[in-house]
Amino acid sequence: DTAVSQTPKYLVTQMGNDKSIKCEQNLGHDTMYWYKQDSKKFLKIMFSYNNKELIINETVPNRFSPKSPDKAHLNLHINSLELGDSAVYFCASSQTGNSNQPQHFGDGTRLSIL
Amino acid sequence: SQQGEEDPQALSIQEGENATMNCSYKTSINNLQWYRQNSGRGLVHLILIRSNEREKHSGRLRVTLDTSKKSSSLLITASRAADTASYFCATDSRSNDYKLSFGAGTTVTVRA
């Protein structure tokens, strides 16, 4: 069974549209994350939730809204998509959220804005 | 700004050779982690080293940490074609041990 799974794997859409990416982890972890990886492979944290509570909210446009219905799920909704949103978005989880724990990543959602 | 930066950006070696890559960071840390990313896949955790540790081993991987120089190295010995991937270091900061900062990685190509 996949530990961290995110859907869809690919997302191609027009500028201005609204889209969602879903993430689920079956590891029993308390903390989940969203990262954005740009074309140069630079990986940047966007959000982190611990037991459904937002604990990290980096400087991300408010067009991006995370939602955690329970600690096993963290979804990302993006409004009014822009060309600069094209990237690979990774979901990850860790046991407690502390940096002394490894993070487990999904295989990414490749978002392309036309 | 990003905390960890890997060097070199890219590395090409022959199968069986060793691969060494470095990570430098700016502010004091509690923990440093190394990850591998195969093409089209998510990151996979390799090793975690704490600030009071100087060296750790895991199979063919050896990680060192020099907190005085704010740098770490990852050595892969006897490389295999399957080691072809990008390698990232991730650091926290003393003031925030809930956030990891990643660099842009070192892309390693192992030639058969």
CB pairs under 8 A between A and B: 65
Interchain contact, B42 vs A98, CB within 8 Å: no
Q: Which amino acid is at A103?
A: Q
pLDDT tens sequence across B63-83: 999 999 999 999 999 999 999
Question: What is the structure's pLDDT at A1?
Answer: 65
Query: What's the average model confidence in pLDDT over A19-36?
Result: 97
**What pLDDT score does A77 carry?**
97
pLDDT surpassing 70 at residue B1: no
Chain B residues closer than 8 Å to A104 by CB: 45
Three-state DSSP state, B83: helix
State the pairing for strand pair A109-113/A10-13: parallel
Virtual CA dihedral for B61, A92, B38, A3, nearest 10 degrees?
A: 90
Instruction: List pLDDT tens digits, range A92-102.
Output: 999 998 989 99
pLDDT digits (tens, 9 = 90+) for B29-40: 999 999 999 999
Query: Are B102 and A55 an interchain contact pair (Cβ–Cβ within 8 Å)?
Result: no
Neighbours of A75 (CB within 10 A): 19
Q: Give the residue from A21, A41, A104 with the most B CB atoms within 10 Å of its CB, the best one to mutate.
A: A41
Task: Give dist(CA B103, CA B5) in Å, integer.
Answer: 5
Using a CB-CB distance cutoff of 8 angstroms, which residues of chain A are in contact with residue B99? 45, 48, 56, 99
Residue B82, SS3? helix
**Residue of chain B minimizing CA distance to A43:** B102
Q: Tell me which residue has tokens 């909704």.
A: A77
pLDDT in the model for residue B94:
73
Count of alpha carbons within 13 angstroms of residue A101, beta-carbon side: 17
Task: State yes or no: pLDDT of B2 exceeds 80.
Answer: no
- Which residues 64-103 of chain A have a CB within 8 Å of chain B? 90, 92, 97-100, 102-103
Task: Convert the pLDDT of each residue in B10-31 to its tens digit.
Answer: 999 999 999 999 999 999 999 9
pLDDT in tens, A36-86: 999 999 999 999 999 989 988 888 899 999 999 999 999 999 999 999 999
CB–CB contact A107 B99 (8 Å): no
End-to-end CA distance of chain A: 34
